[in-house]
Amino acid sequence: MHVGISTFPTAYSITPVDLGSALQARDFDSVWVVEHTHIPASRRTPYPMGGDLPSIYWESYEPFTYLAQVAAVTSRLKVATGVCLVPEHHPITLAKRAASLDSLSGGRFLFGVGAGWNAEELENHGIAYAQRWAVLREHILAMRACWTQKAGEYHGEFVDFDPVWVEPKPVSRPHPPIYIGAQSKWALPRIVEYGNGWLPIGTPDLPDRIRELKDLCDAAGRDVSEIDISVLAVPDSPQALKQLADMGAQRVVLSLPTLPRDESMAVLDSYARIVEWAGAL
């Protein structure tokens, strides 16, 4: 069982250099950062959690830039998007950006992906909300072609290009692992088709969902053990952490609030016991 951290990094929170060094020194295995290119001022789409949208959603850093700084001051810590809003990027450009981070970090990039919840944010990128997952799928397949072929090409409904040379290739083989960050009933079939991992929120129905994932893998001829399950949760006891491991989770991802350095260090220190519990499993 591994332990990671998820955070919204901003100009007023702990720096990537300090955070990366602190996480590696405390034996965390990964850091996951969010993405929103912007938040439309109209605020037409309600905040899924209810109430006012926290300002960190539009104040957070661009994730690949932030993660590159983390990677530069660490040697073991995995750097991850949690999640990258794939439909808001051109797939060739995003393939190069992801491969560059994976190459420069020595194969430490975990590619958490999602389609987004803010309709007008997607619309500003020319993506219809109802088509966002269909677009994401083609973008992922197109990026895989760029990563795994000398002259990758893709021809679909939303993405269409003839053979292209995209270098550098990722260090990870065959490409950085793709984690689907979603909870809906459609998330699991998507993981089975083109994902390498799942980034769910820890909820009471998680055991049932993991059993469903296994059944879908069996039907598709995939081994569920090849799919990394990284659960967003903060277990409050060794027993709770073991329950997640027994379900099939390989990682727990803890939330780090957007705080300055000293306050962030205090939170990380409070999580030290969870890292110890994980090491004892």
What are the tens digits of pLDDT across the range 7-26? 999 999 999 999 999 999 99
> What are the tens digits of pLDDT across the range 45-68?
999 999 999 999 999 999 999 999
The tally of domains found in the chain comes to 1
pTM surpassing 0.95?
yes
State the pLDDT at residue 141: 98
Amino acid identity for residue 140 in this structure: I
Closest CA to 271 of 236, 239, 246, 232: 236
Tell me which residue range forms the domain holding 98: 2-280
Domain of residue 39, CATH code: 3.20.20.30
> What are the tens digits of pLDDT across the range 192-206?
999 999 999 998 899
Amino acid identity for residue 3 in this structure: V
> What are the tens digits of pLDDT across the range 234-281?
999 999 999 999 999 999 999 999 999 999 999 999 999 999 999 999
> What are the tens digits of pLDDT across the range 91-129?
999 999 999 999 999 999 999 999 999 999 999 999 999
